[in-house]
Amino acid sequence: MSDLRRVLVLNGPNLARLGRRQPEIYGYTSYDELVDLCVGWGRDLGLEVEVRQTNHEGDLLDWLNAAADEETPVVLNAAAWTHYSYAIYDACAQLVAPLVEVHLSDPEQRPEVFRHTSVVTPHAAAVVAGYGIDGYRMALEHLAGR
């Protein structure tokens, strides 16, 4: 068993397409590169980081429920589900350990009005938005207490 504190980095729909999907908004870093960066940043911060992505809402709900049961801190980029999923809202509400919400772009600065609402924010200890991939590092630093 590792001496590092476990953290989940959970990503919602379309994030596996990083680097290919609207790079002018989401950047050119691939999802695999994001995973490697998060694991490395975590290790440097004394965290054991596990990164997951799904396009299936039920998977994300199961992961959040397990994080609640295991009192595991979470970095969450719920992607489109951020703006309308009350199931995600309810799952985040039961988390015991800190939750940090992260977004590559700043949803409040996006032209689509629906993006200005987050069902995650009410349950988040912090929100990191608009810093691209570096936002994940900032979220992990928050969880590490830096």
Q: Annotated binding site for substrate: which residue ranges?
A: 77, 83, 90, 104-105, 115
Options 26, 31, 89, 136, the catalytic residue: 26
142 is catalytic: no
Residue 9: strand, helix, or coil: strand
Query: What's the token pair of residue 61?
Result: 């709900």
123 is catalytic: no
Residue 126: strand, helix, or coil: strand
Give every strand in the sheet of 99-103, ordered side by side.
47-53, 5-11, 74-77, 99-103, 126-129
145 exposure class (CB count in 10 Å sphere: 0-12, 13-18, 19+)? exposed
Query: What's the token pair of residue 32?
Result: 């695999």
Options 103, 123, 136, 142, the catalytic residue: 103
Q: Annotated binding residues, as ranges?
A: 77, 83, 90, 104-105, 115
Residues noted as catalytic: 26, 103
